[in-house]
Amino acid sequence: MEYEYLYKRRFDIKNNLISNKSLLINYDIFISAYNSSYRVNYLIDNIEANEKHIFILPEYNFESEELANLEDKFNLFKFSTFDESEVFLEYFRNHILPNIDKNIIFDITGFLRHHIVYFIRLCKQIGIKKVDFVYSEPIAYKNKENTKFSRDFQYVREIRGCGGSHSVNVSNDYLIIGSGYDYNMVLNIAKEKKKTKKVQILGFPSLQADMFQQNILKAYQAEEEIYPKIELDSKDVILAPANDPFVTASLLSKFVKKAEQVNPITNLYLCPLSTKSQTLGMALYYIFECIDKSVSIIFPFCSGYEKETSEGISRFWLYTVEF
């Protein structure tokens, strides 16, 4: 799979306007998950679509009065379930299958990582041909490397539909973690899969110049659980652009192939905890190369996520995925 051949385009925001907006088509369906970040709201307001489907996820814990201004403007889909398959399976039946040939754009910015992965898995399963994904970049995270994203870790499990059939031979198991600021989650996943070789994907170049250093600071805190220790020139670190899912998928694919040449990987676990773009990349790698193999995407599930973690919007990316 040549991931780099997939189409991506950058859209800058200048004076609060999309600089090359004419390049955006008019979509049939725009799908987004609401939270309080400016960048999520900016895309909801500025991307043209015939229907705007806004998901209200229980993890953000919104009160109904906080959603009052959305009720009249958009098609809201409210959920109380934390299970990603329960969020999307019915929705797909009712809204995606009847519109399978329409132009769909999915904003990954506000969705949680397990939703993004499951959405892509489902697209592949039901045979959708093409979806545009959009991801908006913040100017900064609120508290730099100490920004809190998730609350109350619950358990680790595979993301629905992404469980492989694993081998009883665990002698050369790998855990590849897309490592982000939420290092407590990195710790939780590393502890769950203790007897694995741990590889971290770090976002480089990062979204903003200072974010790579901030990411490294957090990665060092997980060092004891991620033996051996982190060294940036180590073979156990994959440096992939924080905003490029296709290069991420490509590097991931190359890494696994290279590791397989040295010693066949017995079981592979992937865990997306870095940027949503890299999450998209990991999911693409999974659906194109890992289904029906001893590969799973696992995730540390939490009962809550912060509604607002970032400041502003610097630009956004459009990624066109042809399944």
Least CB distance from residue 115 to another protein, whole Å?
13
Shortest separation between residue 109's beta carbon and another protein, angstroms: 24
Residue 87: CB minimum distance to another protein, A:
11
Out of 214, 248, 274, 296, which residue is the one contacting another protein (CB under 8 A)? 296
Q: Which residues pair with 153 in a beta bridge?
A: 302
Chain residues 227-256 in contact with another protein, contact rule CB under 8 A: 227-229
Does residue 122 touch another protein according to CB under 8 A?
A: yes
Cβ closest to another protein, residue 74 vs residue 153: 153
> Which window, 96-104, 118-126, 204-212, 252-260, contacts another protein (CB under 8 A)?
118-126
Interatomic CA distance for residues 207 and 315, integer angstroms:
10
Find the shortest distance in angstroms from Cβ 143 to another protein: 17
| Size of residue set near another protein by CB under 8 A | 38
**Contact range with another protein by CB under 8 A, out of 33-41, 67-75, 141-149, 154-162:** 154-162
- In the numeric block, which tokens belong to residue 179? 């490592």
List 89, 140, 216, 217, residue binding another protein (CB under 8 A): 89
HEC assignment per residue over the chain: CCHHHCEEEEEEEECCEECCHHHCCCEEEEEEECCCCHHHHHHHHHCCEEEEEEEECHHHCCCHHHHHHHHCCCEEEECCCCCHHHHHHHHHHHHHHHHCCCCEEEECCCCCHHHHHHHHHHHHHHCCCEEEEEEEECCEECCHHHCCCEEEEEEEEECCCCCCCCCCCCCCCEEEEECCCCHHHHHHHHHHCCCCEEEEEEECCCCCCCHHHHHHHHHHHCCCCCCCCCCCCCCCEEEECCCCHHHHHHHHHHHHHHHHHHCCCCCEEEEECCCHHHHHHHHHHHHHHCCCCCEEEEEEEEEEECCCCEECCCEEEEEEEEC
**Using the rule CB under 8 A, which residue among 173, 182, 236, 244 binds another protein?**
173
Residue number with CB closer to another protein (41 or 184): 184
Residue 158 as a binder of another protein (CB under 8 A): the answer is yes
Closest distance of CB 193 from another protein, Å? 7
State yes or no: residue 217 binds another protein (CB under 8 A).
no
> Smallest distance from the beta carbon of 195 to another protein, in angstroms?
4
Which 175-204 residues touch another protein, going by CB under 8 A? 184, 187, 192-195
- Residue 165 interacts with another protein (CB under 8 A)? yes
CB count in 10 Å sphere of residue 113: 28
Q: Is 161 in the site for another protein (CB under 8 A)?
A: yes
CA–CA gap between residue 243 and residue 276 (Å, rounded):
8
Among 68, 168, 209, 262, the residue binding another protein under the rule CB under 8 A is: 168
List interacting residues with another protein (CB under 8 A).
Answer: 83, 85, 89, 118, 121-122, 125, 152-153, 155-158, 160-170, 173, 184, 187, 192-195, 224, 227-229, 267, 292, 296
